[in-house]
Amino acid sequence: MRKNTHFFVFALLASIIFGCSDDGENYKPSYLPSIDATALPAENKPMTMFEDNEDPSIMYNKADRWFRVNEPFQVILKGKDSVQVSLYSPVGLTDVKVYAKLANYDKKFLLFNFSKVPAFHRSFHKIPLTEQKNDYLLETGNTVTIDKIDGFSSGAIEFFIESEDPLFKKIKKIKSTHLVQFHDGYHINELGKFLPMNPALAKEAITMIINYSYALSHPLYYDTFINFDRYKQEQATTAGTAINGALNWHGNAEDVDGVYDYYSKEEIEKIYWNYLDKRTVWMAMVGGDSAWGGGNLASQWESGYVTGHWLGEMSVWSHEYSHHIGFSHSSNLANSGEGGGQQEMLTHFYKYLIYLNDLPFTDPEVLKTYAKTAYVKGTYKKPVFTINPKNPFLLKYKGEGKWN
């Protein structure tokens, strides 16, 4: 009870100091310096996650390596006085601001300001609140002075990330909140059907699923998904034919002479948001003749991780991801289906986004896995993207529709 009272008194004191700042006092705040995460001292334990030669067992540690697709920059409380900072991205960020909010103080204040954060970075930082009295910049632009606090339990402090970095702003648009991890159980239990991944392939997988999540969240994809019947009609009109196959999204029941279990518009809306929910995805690598998905699993061949996604070849991933969501081969949400389904539509759309340069990552040079020989089994060339002039999204939008 005393501890709670202490925090409450502290919050009152902080708001009084904030009020003085509002009144135009001549106080000159002394803020903490910005942090260049590319040049940290050893005490911060800086490291690059997913180094090519990293022990894969670290990658498979699901308690240590995980992130949400819309939150690749991660701040986690460690102990009572420190945070772990991680960036799950093949490209670094600049000007990343970490704001904090205390349980009994309703204003966010700038805790850390990272001028640079390199790709796949991890480091540890002492929370300055636990070291001494400091001035902090509030979100409003005012100043708050906070006395030293001994430490924090879970829930006593929250972290919020902001940045003007164009990459960060693009990723912030992702509506999906899927949690991503890697799972070694598949190849351990069914070696051959699945193969072990390594950190080099994991970096490609992370890059791909962030891009994929952006594509699923894109306003153009939402509009097309919700109005798939219109998309089918437009394709038929462009081709000068009647609509081929199913007229709209349908479920897992077997087609009986062209009779499908169509979803209503309300059900389609729910299905779309189900694709973007908080479920966990375990990414694995295919070893046998077939890719697999279902439950938490979604898998891909090595070639799909190394070069396929850079070329927009997302049909297999879309298919397995839809199994992960719960659709079987009978549904055109998983299969291309007669006349085309989500596999085909998503692939066309993904390629259109590469054409627009409207994905978080479109340059295979950021990883260059295609040029590595020690960490891949196949032989690859640099993927060079081209778009089919008959791509239905290119024909319809003609270079417009970028998510601004």
pLDDT of residue 256: 87
Q: Write out the DSSP string of 172-241.
A: TT-----EEEE-SHHHHHSBTTEE---HHHHHHHHHHHHHHHHHHH-HHHHHHHHTHHHHHHHHHHHHTS
The verdict on 27 and 72 lying in the same domain is yes
Same domain assignment for residues 31 and 123: yes
The pLDDT assigned to 153 comes to 87
Q: Give me the pLDDT at residue 62, please.
A: 94
Report how far apart, in Å, the C-alpha atoms of 251 and of each of 18, 39, 163, 255, 295 are: 57, 53, 41, 10, 17
Residues 130 and 223 in one domain: no
Residue 128 counted as domain residue = yes
Residue 260 CA, chain-centre distance (Å), reads 34
> Residues 20-38: what's their mean pLDDT?
75
Domain co-membership, 134 together with 191: no
Residue where a domain terminates, one of 132, 164, 196: 164
Specify the pLDDT at position 26. Answer: 74
Q: Would you say residue 21 has pLDDT above 60? A: no
Same-domain check for residues 152 and 236? no
Residue at which a domain ends, from 135, 164, 193: 164
Domain count, the chain: 2
Last residue of a domain, one of 107, 135, 164: 164
154 plus 195 within the same structural domain: no
Residues 146 and 280 in one domain: no
* 366 and 287 share one domain: yes
Amino acid at the residue 391: N
In this structure, is residue 57 part of a structural domain? Answer: yes
Given a contact cutoff of 8 angstroms between Cβ atoms, the answer to whether 87 and 72 are in contact is yes
pLDDT by residue (tens digit) across 175-214? 999 999 999 999 999 999 999 999 999 999 999 999 999 9
Range scoring the smallest mean pLDDT among 123-132, 199-208, 232-241: 232-241
* Pair (159, 234) in one structural domain: no
What is the average pLDDT value for the chain, to the nearest integer?
A: 91
Residues 30 and 156 in one domain: yes
Is 402 contained in some domain?
A: no
Q: What is the mean pLDDT of residues 78-84?
A: 95
pLDDT in tens, 43-71: 999 999 999 999 999 999 999 999 999 99
pLDDT of residue 7: 29
Please indicate, yes or no, if residue 377 is contained in any of the structural domains. Answer: yes
Q: Give me 110's structure tokens.
A: 């700038």
pLDDT score of 345 = 95
- Tell me: pLDDT of 16 over 70: no
Whether 403 maps to a domain, the answer reads no
Q: Is the pLDDT of residue 6 over 70?
A: no
| pLDDT the model gives residue 20 | 34
Whether 174 is covered by a domain: the verdict is no
pLDDT at 25: 62
Are 95 and 190 part of one and the same domain? Answer: no
The pTM for the full model equals 0.92
Tell me the pLDDT tens digit for each residue of 355-395: 999 999 999 999 999 999 999 999 999 999 999 999 999 99
Which of 34, 67, 36, 35 lies closest to 49 in space, CA to CA?
A: 67
Domain limits at 339? 179-397
Q: Which is nearest to 165 in space by CA: 59, 241, 65, 92?
A: 92
Name the pLDDT band for 245 (thresholds 50, 70, 90).
Answer: confident
Q: Partners of 316 in the beta sheet? A: none
Q: Tens digit of pLDDT for each residue in 152-186?
A: 988 899 999 999 999 999 999 999 999 999 999 99
**Do 184 and 158 reside in the same domain of the chain?**
no
pLDDT digits (tens, 9 = 90+) for 315-344: 999 999 999 999 999 999 998 877 789 999
Is 158 in contact with 101 (CB distance < 8 Å)?
yes
